Structure 1
Amino acid sequence: MSGYIDLQVNGYAGIDFNAKTITDQQWIDVCKRLSDDGVDQILATVITAPFPEMILRVRHIADVIERLPEVRERVAGIHVEGPFLNPETGYVGAHPVDAVRKADQSMAERLLDSGNGHVRLVTLAPESDSGAEVTRFLTDRGICVAAGHSNATLDQLKESIDNGLKLFTHLGNGCPGELPRHDNIIQRVLSVADQIAVSFIADGHHVPPFALRNYLDVMPDANIIIVTDAISAAGLGPGKFQLAGQTVTVDEDGAAWSADRTHFAGSAATMPEMMAVLTDKVGVSVEQAKRWMSDNPRRLLNTTSFNDNTVQ
């Protein structure tokens, strides 16, 4: 397999993975569409919701992975994004603030149990995880832990790295539009980017191409990962779509907006579209982009190359 590996997919081709009801045929159809778009594997992503709903969503995805070979081939596991995030405006992004919680080991264990071994990645805010205890708990159980939707201090990031943190989720997003000029979450993460992988949404909207180029230029090549953060709108063009009960509007330029248009709510882009942005607008080679969209995320999922927090 040499196609794209996407670690963050909330939905695709009209199907919202966070919907209350998804038929087996819809799962089969969306996996066929992913295959047609050159995607080898994804992590189906469950976002923050009232905790019982998150449990049901994780359980449903685990069930279809186990029952349907077409899904098992394409869905490598589950990415749980939340509920242990920073609730402040800007950092919380499209996640419902009333469902955000402090990191809690018993809640984390219930999420893992509901996934029956299929939860592969958990995104949390290190500042919500006192003493990085949940990060260590998850790491010890073979889960890749990512920071995200976070305003962690540099010390908090380093403490999380010492306890197994391997990734930062979609840097440049999940934070306010205006930040302190020097000491901000983007600069802090870039300062430790030789120790963890960092994912970026390369749709041309979430991070302007010139800014994305600046970030990529200071990152170790082996630690760069491109994700779509796709929602049900992916590949369908302008219109109104659903993300976990929220209405998202995709404009004529392909940007996916929250109902109040104050922030993006996932992405409507596919991996082939992001390849075009990277090569045509950011100015990287096809070979580089393939490493970031296939080799690096595959290594993060399938090996322990980031476990010792060194660049491989």
Structure 2
Amino acid sequence: MNSLCSGVIKSNRIVFPDGIKAGYLIVTEGKITGFETHFSASCIDHSERIIMPGFVDIHVHGWGRGSFAYKGSAASLQWMSQDLVKAGVTSYLPTSGTMPNDFLEASLVAAADYIATATPAEGAEAIGIHMEGPYISEKHLGMQRADCLQRPSIEGFKRFNRLAGHHIRLMTLAPELAGALELIRYLRAQGVTASAGHTDATFAEITAAVEAGLNHFTHAYSGMRGFHHRELGVVGALMYYQDTYAEVAKQSGITIKPEAFDLLYRLKGDRRMVLMSDCMGYVDFPEGYEFYHYLRKETFRIRQGQLEIASDGGDTRHVCPCDYDAVKQLEMNFLDSVRNIVDRLDNGLVSVASIACENPALLAGAQERKGSLCPGKDADILVLDDDLNLLEVYCRGLRQAL
């Protein structure tokens, strides 16, 4: 299976939605076409390896040497696709930010062109677009731009989606803004996931949004009104409404504490928790761009094509985009996040497959071909050792360079 072809993979640990099984995974022309417990012909023997579906990252602004949110180019998407597979991600939603409208629209056009022409040889598949903003609250901006906010509008979204080749699959917005409920109803009718994020909504306002069709929460806990026992806020609402999904960012212990993850997981479980990265791709920011990372207490700037990072303590270091070994250390990757939580989940790797593959594929509208190793799905396959080191990755049946 070194190219787009048919093949059979043998393993004693193949991760399916209903458990881990020993047997033979059958691939035909880049698709999974069956599973057998006995098979007599030749096969690829990974008996002692773990076989599981590729991760689906529905919230990633950039990774490795590419940053879609900040460069908005086909080249940034090419770098992201090439580097994401090194972290076990085989499909993703390139995620925009709240940026100047001309840049945002040009980014959507670039993404549409890339999605239409990219092949499995380029790496992870961009299966749509996640728009994070510009319909968000100025009270919970995070690292978004206050000068680029827009009012929610069905007509505005229609224009964005037209430019995006109708590839927008998920939109993060603040439900309390005027016009948001009408837009949420429209998104639901169009099969686009509406998610609450960067929002100061009250519990009642989230309730109205859920009734309108909102079913997801962007980076749970972060960028939203917190919980109070008399005003449950957004955090209280995402916990209370059991059928809504909630995503959590990379599990480094910085963005949210492990106990906060555990608490949310006890409420959401495998059915409604979603793991994503929210990575940025710092080295692909535009020349001269500078921002302060309020969590890491560091200032990032691009000077003469290199990333300069200055800490509050006065230390400065430089990272060249050409040095991938250095670049990959800038942010926690998807696979490392999985390693940090797998032992705390109810069903180990089966739970991982739910929250990192199946659930995000559903929210991205790609559940018919992504998210599991069931027949009919794309052959997006990870081969891992016992320590969850990545040994091989296949995207639509094509083995990737790691």
TM-score (norm 1): 0.81
2:195 — aligned with what?
A: 146
Aligned to 1:217: 266
CA-CA distance at 1:169 after TM superposition: 0.6
Q: Quick one: which amino acid aligns to residue 101 of structure 2?
A: F
- CA-CA distance at 1:279 after TM superposition: 2.8
Specify which of 200, 214, 229 is matched with residue 248 of structure 2: 200
What displacement does 1:136 show? 1.0
Find the aligned partners of 1:245 and 1:189 in 2 and give their Cα distance: 38
Return closer, same or farther for 1:100/1:286 CA change in 2, 3 Å cut-off: same
Whichever residue aligns with residue 138 of structure 2, its letter is: P
Percent of aligned positions with the same letter in both sequences?
A: 20
Distance 1:113 1:245 in 2: 31
Q: 1:256 to 1:174 in 2, by over 3 A?
A: farther
Distance 1:185 1:131, change over 3 A: closer
Q: SS in structure 2 opposite 1:103?
A: coil
Between structures 1 and 2, the one with greater helix share: 1
Counterparts of 1:260-299 in structure 2 under 5 Å?
A: 268-279=331-342, 285-299=348-362
Aligned to 2:371: none
Determine the C-alpha separation between the residues in 1 that align with 2:286 and 2:341.
26
Contact 1:43 1:77 in 2 (8 A): yes
State the partner residue of 2:109: 59
Kindly tell me: are residues 244 and 12 of structure 1, through their superposed partners in 2, closer, same or farther at Cα, counting changes over 3 Å?
A: farther
Contact 1:17 1:45 in 2 (8 A): yes
- Could you list the per-position Cα deviations for residues 197-239 of structure 1 after superposition, in whole angstroms to 9, with x for gaps in the alignment? 1111132211111111112112243011011001104xxxxxx
Instruction: Verify: 1:247 aligned to 2:290, yes or no.
Output: yes
Q: For structure 1, which runs of at least 5 residues remain unmatched after alignment?
A: 234-239, 306-312
Regions of 4+ moved over 6 Å: none
Q: Are the counterparts in 2 of residues 9 and 43 from structure 1 also a CA contact under 8 Å?
A: yes
172, 183, 191: which one aligns with 1:123? 172
Distance 1:31 1:95, change over 3 A: same
Q: Following TM superposition, by how much is the alpha carbon of 1:66 offset from its aligned partner in structure 2, in angstroms? A: 1.1
Deviation at 1:53, TM superposition (A): 1.6
Give the Cα separation in 1 of the matches to 2:124 and 2:155: 31
- In structure 2, how many angstroms separate the alpha carbons of the residues matched to 1:244 and 1:181? 46
| Residue 211 (structure 2) aligned to one of 153, 157, 162 | 162
The one-letter amino acid of 2:96's match is V
Moved more, 195-204 or 182-191: 182-191
Query: 2:91: which partner in 1?
Result: 41
The 1:142–1:189 alpha-carbon spacing in structure 2 relative to 1, beyond 3 Å, is same
Output the CA distance in 1 between the equivalents of 2:147 and 2:297: 22
Q: Against the structure 1 CA distance between its residues 12 and 248, is the aligned structure 2 distance closer, same or farther, given a 3 Å change threshold? A: farther
Query: Which residue of 1 is the match for residue 157 of structure 2?
Result: 108
Map of 1:171 onto structure 2: 220
**Deviates most, 65-74 or 41-50:** 65-74
Query: In structure 2, do the counterparts of structure 1 residues 107 and 245 end up closer, same or farther at CA, with 3 Å as the change threshold?
Result: farther
CA contact (8 A) 2:92 2:128 kept: yes
Alpha carbons of 1:6 and 1:213: their partners in 2 closer, same or farther (altered >3 Å)?
Answer: same
Query: Structure 1 205/99 Cα, relative in aligned 2: closer, same or farther at 3 Å?
Result: same
Instruction: Tell me by how many angstroms 1:20 deviates.
Output: 3.8
Relative distance call for 1:182 and 1:48 in structure 2 (3 A) is same
Q: What's the CA shift for 1:57? A: 0.9
1:159-200 deviation per Cα after TM superposition (whole angstroms, max 9, x unaligned): 211221121111111137x865652321222111x1211111
Q: 1:58 to 1:257 in 2, by over 3 A?
A: farther
3-state SS of 2:255 partner: coil
Aligned length, in residue pairs: 287
Matched residue type, 1:301:
A
SS in 1 for 2:183: helix
* Structure 2, gaps ≥5 residues long: 1-31, 33-52, 301-309, 313-329, 369-402
Contact 2:250–2:275 (Cα < 8 Å) also in 1: yes
| Structure showing greater Rg | 2
Give the superposed CA RMSD: 3.2
Aligned equivalents of 2:291, 2:298: Cα separation in 1? 6
Matches within 5 A, 1:22-101: 22=73, 24=75, 27-70=77-120, 74-88=125-139, 91-101=140-150
SS in 2 for 1:54: helix
With over 3 angstroms needed to count, the CA separation of the structure-2 counterparts of 1:105 and 1:69, relative to structure 1, is same
Higher strand fraction (1 or 2): 2
Partner of residue 182, structure 2? 133
In the alignment, structure 1 residue 15 sits paired with structure 2 residue 66: yes
CA distance in 2, matches of 1:18, 1:224: 24
Deviation readout 1:39-90 (Å, 9 max, x if unpaired): 12100001101222211111111111112224696110100000100111xx
Q: Which amino acid aligns with 2:108?
A: V
